[in-house]
Chain A
Amino acid sequence: MSLGRRSFLRATAASVAFPYLIPASAMGNAGATAPSNRIVMAGIGLGNMGSGDLSSFLGRDDVQYVAVCDVKRDVRNARMNQVNQKYNSTDCKAYNDFREVLVRGDIDAVHCATPDHWHAIVVIEACRNGKDIYCQKPETKTLREGKLMIDAARRYSRIVSGGSQRVLEDYRGAVDACWSGSKGQVKSINVNVGPFPTDCNKAGETVPDGFDWDMWLGPAPWAPYHPHRCSGSYNIDGTSWRSFKDYSGGGMTDWGAHHFGGATFALDVRELEPEEVIFHNENGRKYATCRFPNGKLLHHNCPGRGNIAVEGTNEQGPSKPVPSYAGTGGIYGDFIDCVKTRKKPFRDIEFAVHTANVCHLFLAAYELERSLKWDTAKQQFVNDDEANRLVDVARREPWVI
Chain B
Amino acid sequence: MTSEQTVRMTLAAGATTLAAAHAMAQTDSAAVDKAFETLKTFDWGEDRKLLDPIDQTIIATQGNAAARAALEKRLVDALAGGLSRSAQDYVCRKLRIVGTAQSVNALAALLPAENTSHIARYALERIPNEKALDVMRDALPRVSGKLKAGMLGSLGKRRDAKSIDTISKCLGDSDIQVARAAAESLGLIGTSAAAKELTQFAKKAPANMNLPVADACLICAEQLVTDGQKAQAMALYKELQGNDQPSQVKIAAMKGMLAATTRK
Contacts and interface: CB of A to CB of B under 8 A. Distances in A.
B192 to A, nearest CB: 20
Contacts of B119: 221-222
Interface in B1-51: 44-48
A397 B146 contact: yes
A10 B248 CA distance: 7
B151 to A, nearest CB: 8
Given A199-B48, A224-B44, A386-B62, A11 B251 contact: yes
Interface stretch (A167-175, A260-268, A322-330, A388-396): A388-396
Contact of A395 (B48, B153, B247, B256): B153
A202 B177 contact: no
Interface stretch (A151-159, A307-315, A332-340): A151-159
B191 interface: no
B128 interface: yes
Given A392-B157, A400-B149, A400-B181, A155 B218 contact: yes
Interface in A192-243: 198-204, 221-224
Interface string B155-183: 01100000000000000000001101100
Interface in B207-249: 211, 215, 218-219, 222, 246-248
A396 to B, nearest CB: 4
Interface in A146-164: 151, 155-157
A49 to B, nearest CB: 27
Interface size class of B (residues with CB under 8 A): 35 or more
Given A13-B247, A222-B115, A368-B59, A400 B184 contact: yes
A397 B44 contact: no
A72 B222 CA distance: 38
Given A13-B247, A156-B248, A399-B150, 16 more contacts: A14-B255, A16-B255, A155-B256, A201-B47, A204-B44, A221-B122, A222-B119, A368-B59, A386-B62, A388-B128, A389-B126, A395-B153, A397-B148, A398-B149, A398-B178, A400-B149
Interface of A: 7, 10-11, 13-14, 16-17, 128-130, 151, 155-157, 198-204, 221-224, 368-370, 385-386, 388-390, 392-401
16 contacts: A16-B255, A17-B254, A17-B258, A155-B219, A156-B248, A157-B251, A157-B255, A204-B45, A221-B89, A221-B122, A222-B115, A368-B62, A389-B96, A393-B125, A398-B153, A398-B177
